[in-house]
A and B are shown apart, each in its own frame.
Chain A
Amino acid sequence: MSGVAGTFGRAAERRHRVREGGLLRGALIAGALSFLGIFLIAPLVTVFASAFSKGFGTYLTALSDPETLSAIELTLLAAGIAVPLNLVFGVAAAWLFAKYEFPGKNILLTLVDLPFSVSPVIAGLVFVLLFGAQGWLGPWLSDHDIRIIFAVPGIVLATIFVTFPMVAREVLAVMQSQGNDEEEAALTLGASGWQILFRVTLKKVRWGLLYGVILCNARAMGEFGAVSVVSGHIRGETNTMPLHVEILYNEYHFVAAFAVASLLALLALVTLLIKKVAEWAARSRADALDRAPALEATLSEPVGSTPS
C-alpha cells in the first residue's frame, strides 16, 4: 500500500513541479513582454502617434520648415563625413591590431575604446577646451580665421570622436575570428600588401564591416551630448536633428518635434532591418560551411566531368 501511495505521491509532486515551472515561465515571459512594451514599443508608438496627431499635412509642413531642413542637411553632412572617415580609420586600426604585435598594443587598444567609456558631454567639452576661444588652439585658430567650435567643423569632429571605435571594433572581431591564413596564402602566391587588402581581407570581413558602418551611421545621426556642447545651437546653421528636436520640444512645437523625432526613429528601424539582413547573410554563409560535409558524398571524385 505504502508503495502505491508513494508512487502516486511522486507523480503528483512531479505534476506540481511541472505546473510550477509553467507558472514561472509564464511570469517571466509576461514580465519581459511588459518591460519591452513599456520601455521600447510604447515610446516608439508615441513618437509616430504624436507626429501624425494633427494629420499628414501638418506632418509634412513641420518637416519642410527651413530650419528643420537645415538640421536634416547638417546631420546628413556630419554622418556623411564621419562614417567614411571612420570606415577608413576602422579598417586601418583593425588591420594594425589583428596583424601586428608591437609594444603598447594593449594600451592603444584601450584608447580606441575611450569614446565608449567617456560621457559624450565630456568629449564635447574636450573639443571646446582644445579649439574654443579660450582653448589651447583658440588664439591660433582665430588669428587664421578658422571657426571650429559653434560651427560645422566642431560638430563633425565631435561626431567622429563618439563613433570612433564602432567600425574598428566590429572589423577587428571578425578579423581575429578568421585568422591570418588566407592573407599568408596570398602573400606566398605573390600578392602585394594592397592586393591582399582589397582581394582578400576586405572580402573576408565585408559583413562585419557593413555591420560596423551601420552602427556607426546610427550613432553619428543620433548623437546628442557631444554635439550639443560644441554646436552653440545656432538655428539653421549648427543644429543637427537631435538638437532641433529638443529646441522644438522646449518651444512647445510638439507635432514638429515628434515629426523630426519620427525621422530619427525611422532611421533606427531601417538600421535594425539592414543589420538583420547583414546578420542573416553572414549566417547563411556560415551555414553553407557547416553543410559542406553533407555534400562530400555527392561531390567526391568527379573525375572526367566537364569543366564549367
Chain B
Amino acid sequence: MTVSVDDLTKRFGPRDGAAAVEGASFSAREGEITTLLGPSGSGKSTLLRLIAGLEEPDSGKVLIAGKDVTRVSPGKRNVGFVFQSYALFRHLSVFENVAFGMRVRRRPEPEVRARVEELLKLVQLSGTSARFPSQLSGGQRQRIALARALATDPAVLLLDEPFGALDARVRVELRQWLLEFQKKTKVTTVLVTHDQEEAFELSEHVVLLSEGKVVQTGTPHDLYDRPKTPFVASFLGGANVLRGSVRFGMAEVGSMSVEAPAGTAEGASVHAFVRPHDIRLVKAEPEEDSVSVARVERLTRIGAQVKVSLELADGEPMTVQMSKVEVDSIGIEAGDRVLVDLREAKVFVEDYSI
C-alpha cells in the first residue's frame, strides 16, 4: 500500500478538547484516487495535512511507501500537496513556481528546464511559463499548483479541496480533466472534498468521515446502497427520516411498517431512511382506507424529474423523486390519495449514546 494511516489522532487546543481527527485508519490504493469525503468540520482536511506532515499527530502512524514517516518533516516525505487556495508563489513566474521543488534541491539547470517544460505540457499550459500567477485564471492556477506538486516525483499527491475556490462550471470541467490526468500519470492520489458528487465521480474508493472518525470506507455503490450508520444514510442523498419502534419484528415508522434488521429487540426505537427516488407510489382506490395512504400536497417539475411532496397519514411530510414518465403513467395530481411503498427503506436501531 502506498499511503496508509493507522489509528491517527489529532487534537487542537487542550488535551481533553474535541479531537479534529480521532483514531482514523485507512489505506489509499496504489495508482488510484482515494477521496476523503465528509461535511465541514469532519476532520478530512486535518487528516490530509497529517499525511503531508503539516500537522503533527498526538498518536498513531503515517506510512508512505511502507515506511513510518510520522516524525519525518514534510519536505522529506515525498508528497505533493495542492492547496485549495493554490498557494502559488506570487512573486515567482509560472516556470519558477513549478521549478521550486527542484531549485531547493539544487538540481542542475538543464534537468530543471526539461522537467518544467514536460510538466507544463502535461497540464496543458506550455505557453504560460513567463507569466505570473496573478495573470492566470483560477483553473489555470490550480493546474500550475498540480504541476508544481508533481515536479519532485512524489509517491503520493495530496489534494485539499482542489476545486473548492472555483465556480461550478470550471469545477466540473477540471474534475473531468483531473480524472483523465490521473489515468495518464497513474500517481497515487488522496483528494479531500465535501462534495459527494465530486467524490463519487472521481474515485472508486471513498473514505467517509464524520466528527474526526472514519465512519465507512468503500466504493460509492457500497456507501450509497449499504450505509452502515444513520449519518452515512442521511449524508449521501437527502433521505426522508421516519421514526418509530419495533413491533412483532417489524419496524413501525410513522404510519407504515417496514422490515426491521434481524435480531432487533422488541420495542426498540428505530429510524428509517428512505431516499426520495426509492419510493414507489400507487394511486389509491377511493374506498381504500389504509395507514399507508398519503395525500399529494404538491408536484414540482424540474426538467424530466418530478418532486412529489406528500403528507403521510400521521401528518409527517415526505419527499418522493420520480421521473416525469412515471408520474404521467400513474396519473397523480395534487390532492390525490396515494399508497406509499417503502421497500427500499434502511432501518437503524437508535443509538442512545449519541
Residues of A within 8 A of B (CB): 179, 181-182, 184-192, 195, 199-200, 203-204, 285, 288-289, 291-293, 295-296, 299-308
Contacts and interface: CB of A to CB of B under 8 A. Distances in A.
B120 interface: yes
Nearest to A290: B134
Interface residues of B, number: 45
B305 to A, nearest CB: 33
B117 A307 contact: yes
Contact of A204 (B90, B128, B151): B90
Interface string B89-128: 1111000000011011100000000000100100011111
10 tightest A-B contacts by CB?
A: A305-B127, A181-B87, A190-B75, A302-B127, A296-B137, A189-B101, A188-B81, A185-B87, A308-B130, A203-B91
Contact of A302 (B75, B92, B126, B132): B126
Contacts, number: 112
A192 B53 CA distance: 14
Contacts of B100: 186, 189, 191, 199
B83 interface: yes
B24 to A, nearest CB: 20
A289 B124 CA distance: 22
A181 B124 contact: no
Contacts of B92: 203
A305 B137 contact: no
A308 B126 CA distance: 8
The listed residue with most B CB atoms (<10 A of its CB), out of A188, A285, A302, is A188
30 contacts: A179-B85, A181-B87, A184-B54, A184-B74, A184-B87, A185-B83, A185-B148, A186-B100, A187-B73, A187-B75, A188-B53, A188-B74, A188-B149, A189-B104, A191-B75, A192-B75, A192-B104, A199-B104, A203-B92, A204-B90, A285-B134, A288-B132, A289-B90, A295-B136, A295-B137, A296-B137, A299-B137, A302-B127, A303-B126, A305-B126
Nearest to A183: B87
B104 A299 contact: no
B126 to A, nearest CB: 5
Interface string B33-76: 00000000000000000001110000000000000000001111
Contact of B89 (A185, A304, A306): A185
B97 to A, nearest CB: 9
B140 interface: yes
B85 A181 contact: yes
Given A181-B83, A295-B137, A300-B140, A307 B126 contact: yes
B17 to A, nearest CB: 14
B75 A292 contact: no
A182 B87 contact: yes
Main secondary structure on A side of the interface with B: helix
Contacts of A200: 89
Contacts of B5: none
B129 A307 contact: yes
Given A181-B85, A308-B129, A189 B75 contact: yes
A288 B152 CA distance: 30
A189 B148 contact: yes
Given A199-B104, A307-B127, A190 B87 contact: no
Nearest to A303: B124
B80 interface: yes
A187 B72 CA distance: 12
Contacts of A285: 134
Given A190-B75, A307-B127, A308-B129, A185 B81 contact: yes
A184 B140 CA distance: 20
B174 interface: no
Given A182-B90, A185-B83, A305-B127, A299 B117 contact: no
Contacts of A288: 132, 134-135
B89 A292 contact: no
A292 B136 contact: yes
